[in-house]
């Protein structure tokens, strides 16, 4: 069978299972994560060129040996993909039918810091979410840079870049460069704005010192005050992004619920600044986002405020 035939067969299996789940709730409850792996995930990896029986290409239940904070001794990465003897990607698997949520992303986030990889995949056998470290090396991004859904996919070539032959291609540095370029532009805008700020402040002080202002001077005063306010917001955004890029995951990175230290909260002001970077015309009511803030929901709140 060709690669397209194999993936199409997986797609048919998934849609058949969904039909069973609708008719029988027990069928959904009884279909396990292990069944998802053996019937859906491993066949896909095999058709992408990985020898699933070779530990040099696929390591199952890969336990962390680095002693990284936040990783329990009982935890392990479902699969680590290897090419030419090097770890290249990690995969966290969930059962078919499970909605992938922020807790699942948080789990992958923790595993990511234990491996020198640049690709992390979260899947339930149908939905595949692809993450990387586009902002800061070895710190997984908050949102996937790509998502594929086999049950509704018509162009199976979308998976080609993750085949054994292609996965080492240099698209990750490109993603990092794009994100870094966005930040550099923001910082340059702030620097240019700051150079003008002294001149604007002097003009503003002169106008405020006048007892009477003409209508033209009043308009000028308003525009200068607006400029200073915008400059302040820009400065705050730059500082927020600097703090976001410098986040390190340690045992002290804990907030909120529970006694363990695997709860990572993105402050609301940082979440808002990140969401503000998304072009308005790219967000619609049916857009899908992953909120990694666990039960804090800071990204959801920021997105709601941006939409409404």
DSSP letter string over 54-105? -TTTEEEEE---S--TT--TT--EEEEEEETTEEEEEEEE--TTPPP-HHHH
CA 246 to CA 265: how far, in whole Å? 14
pLDDT of residue 292: 47
Q: What is the mean pLDDT of residues 25-49?
A: 94
Whole-angstrom distance, CA of residue 52 vs CA of residue 46 = 6
Could you tell me where the DSSP H helices lie in 152-214?
A: 171-208
What percent of the chain clears pLDDT 90, i.e. is strictly above it? 24
Structure confidence at residue 251 (pLDDT): 38
Quickly tell me which residue has 């700020």 as its tokens: 197
The model's pTM: 0.60
Q: Which of 135, 128, 95, 87 is nearest to 111 (CA)?
A: 87
Weakest-pLDDT range from 19-23, 88-92, 174-178: 174-178
For residues 124 and 122, give the distance between their C-alpha atoms in angstroms, rounded to a whole number.
Answer: 7
When pLDDT is cut at 50, 70 and 90, the band that residue 12 belongs to is very high
Taking a C-beta distance cutoff of 8 angstroms, is the pair 166, 160 a contact? yes
Task: Decide if pLDDT at 305 tops 60.
Answer: yes
How far apart, in whole angstroms, are the C-alpha atoms of residue 127 and residue 41?
A: 11
Question: Dihedral of CA 73/79/80/84: which sign?
Answer: positive
**Comparison of pLDDT for 13 and 217, the residue scoring more:** 13
The reported pLDDT for the residue numbered 94 is: 96
For residue 248, what pLDDT band results from cuts at 50, 70 and 90? Answer: very low
> Could you give the angle at which helices 215-245 and 268-276 cross, rounded to 10 degrees?
110
């Amino acid at each position: 069978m060709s690669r397209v035939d194999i993936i199409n067969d997986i797609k048919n299996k998934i849609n058949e299972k969904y039909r069973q789940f609708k008719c029988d709730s027990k069928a959904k409850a009884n279909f396990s994560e292990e069944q998802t792996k053996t019937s859906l995930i491993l066949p896909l990896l095999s058709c992408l060129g990985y020898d699933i029986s070779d530990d040099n290409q696929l390591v199952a239940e890969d336990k962390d040996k680095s002693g990284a904070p936040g990783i329990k001794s009982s935890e392990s990465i479902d699969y680590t993909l290897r090419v030419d003897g090097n770890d290249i990607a990690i995969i966290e698997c969930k059962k078919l039918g499970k909605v992938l949520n922020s807790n699942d992303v948080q789990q992958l986030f923790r595993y990511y810091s234990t491996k020198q990889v640049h690709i992390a995949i979260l899947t339930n056998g149908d939905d595949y979410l692809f993450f990387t470290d586009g902002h800061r090396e070895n710190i997984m991004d908050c949102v996937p840079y790509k998502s594929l859904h086999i049950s509704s996919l018509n162009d199976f070539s979308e998976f080609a870049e993750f085949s054994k032959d292609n996965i080492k291609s240099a698209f990750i540095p490109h993603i990092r460069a794009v994100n870094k370029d966005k930040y550099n532009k923001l910082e340059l805008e702030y620097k240019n704005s700051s150079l003008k700020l002294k001149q604007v402040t002097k003009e503003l002080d002169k106008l405020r010192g006048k007892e009477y202002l003409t209508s033209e001077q009043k308009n000028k005063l308003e525009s200068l005050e607006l400029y200073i306010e915008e400059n302040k917001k820009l400065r705050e955004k730059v500082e927020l992004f600097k703090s976001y890029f410098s986040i390190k995951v340690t045992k002290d990175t804990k907030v909120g619920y529970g006694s363990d230290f695997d709860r990572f909260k993105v402050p609301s002001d940082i979440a808002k600044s990140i969401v503000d970077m998304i072009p308005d015309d790219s967000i619609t009511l049916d857009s899908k986002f992953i909120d990694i803030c666990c039960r804090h929901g800071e990204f959801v709140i920021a997105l709601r405020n941006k939409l409404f």
